[in-house]
């Protein structure tokens, strides 16, 4: 996501493409992993000694659910990406660190595998149907009592 200043005409330029996700790799113990390439579509332009870029950025992540710990895919799509970079004399401006920052900010702090509603989290499933567990526990208790009764009568 590097932009050559000399290649930007006065009316601005549209840059679009895919980038390796290497730059997103996180130095963390959290199970967060980018999957596939980072897609971007940006309009860049120059104004007042700065470079601005607006557009969309998207990438998929593999995250682990905080409730059931199962890995799931979470797409990040930033439709309103916007940044302004002050020009420092270099002919090349790298937007990568700014894109990285926005993508990391868009990651959920407490990822849930049922975010899209397409899947029901196993943890939530267990909480929603307590009668199942209760009834099975119940029968175990009654089973134990039955055993006691049998022992008594013997």
Which residues in this chain contact Zn ion in the complex, by CB under 5 A? 65, 67-68, 113, 121
The span from the CA of 127 to the CA of 117, in Å, is: 17
Question: CA-CA distances (angstroms) from residue 122 to 52, 62, 65, 142, 149?
Answer: 45, 18, 10, 28, 38
Shortest gap between Cβ of 64 and Zn ion (angstroms)? 9
Taking the least distance from each CB to Zn ion, the nearer of 44 and 121 is 121
Taking the least distance from each CB to Zn ion, the nearer of 128 and 138 is 128
Taking the least distance from each CB to Zn ion, the nearer of 78 and 124 is 124
Shortest gap between Cβ of 74 and Zn ion (angstroms)? 12
Beta strands in the chain (DSSP E): 2-4, 13-19, 33-47, 50-64, 71-86, 92-94
Shortest gap between Cβ of 68 and Zn ion (angstroms)? 3
Shortest gap between Cβ of 118 and Zn ion (angstroms)? 12
Taking the least distance from each CB to Zn ion, the nearer of 33 and 67 is 67
The span from the CA of 87 to the CA of 52, in Å, is: 10
């Amino acid at each position: 996501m590097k932009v050559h200043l000399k290649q930007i005409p006065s009316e601005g330029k549209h840059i679009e493409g895919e980038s390796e996700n290497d730059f997103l790799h996180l130095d963390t113990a959290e199970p967060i992993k980018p999957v596939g390439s980072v897609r971007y579509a940006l309009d860049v332009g120059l104004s007042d000694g700065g470079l601005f870029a607006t557009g969309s950025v998207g990438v998929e992540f593999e995250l682990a659910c905080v409730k059931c710990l199962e890995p799931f895919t979470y797409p990040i799509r930033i439709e309103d990406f916007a940044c302004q970079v002050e020009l420092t004399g270099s002919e090349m401006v790298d937007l990568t660190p700014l894109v990285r920052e926005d993508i990391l900010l868009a990651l959920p702090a407490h990822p849930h595998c049922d975010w899209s509603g397409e899947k029901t989290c196993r943890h939530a499933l267990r909480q929603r149907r307590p009668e199942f567990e209760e009834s099975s526990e119940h029968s175990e208790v009654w089973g134990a009592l039955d055993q006691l009764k049998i022992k008594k009568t013997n």
